[in-house]
Amino acid sequence: MKEKISSNKFLVLTGLILLAAISRLIPHPLNFAPITGMALFAAVYFDEKKFAFAVPVLAMFISDLIIGLHSQMVTIYLSFVLIVGIGFLVKNRKSVGTIALASVASSILFFVITNFGMWALGTLYTKDLAGLIICFTAAIPFFQNTLLGDLFYTGLLFGVYEVVKVKLPQVVKVR
């Protein structure tokens, strides 16, 4: 029998994701963002897949409304949804190593999809192999912050929740 998520656990998970999304609104280095952490965290801890997708996508969309909508949102949200899928793959094999590996893989996936989208959908690069290579080459300096941000926020979200589970188990218990 599948256990139902408690309303307290749902609120804690949702609250952590919303806090991560809010962090997009404070000054931060370019590409140092909580997107991967939010997607992996939601996939691993929400018991229902619909919440694993809906809560972080909604949190991100709300922060995007404040930051500003832009032409690359399609590729970012596509990456986000695929990263939730990576989270589902590690859900039952959760360890520091698998989560870190999932975060790195997600960073690479995000880099490839969003930069391919920048090339394919944007106007900065010629629509040939040379333009694609230039696009990806120009993006390399930003990858470091993407990777560091993904590892930071993934570690923070998972770490805080695991501490809550140990220190306040009654708050996140399942029925």
Domain that residue 164 falls in: 7-172
- pTM of the full predicted structure? 0.92
Question: pLDDT tens digits for 20-38?
Answer: 999 999 999 999 999 999 9
Asked if pLDDT for residue 3 goes beyond 60, the answer is: no
Q: How many domains is the chain partitioned into structurally? A: 1
- What confidence score (pLDDT) does residue 1 get? 38
Q: Is residue 21 part of a domain?
A: yes
Q: Is residue 31 part of a domain?
A: yes
Q: Is residue 2 part of a domain?
A: no
Q: How far apart (Å, rounded) are the C-alpha atoms in residues 93 and 19? A: 26
Question: pLDDT tens digits for 66-78?
Answer: 999 998 999 999 9
Question: pLDDT tens digits for 143-172?
Answer: 999 999 999 999 999 999 999 999 998 888
**What percent of the chain is modeled with pLDDT above 90?**
90
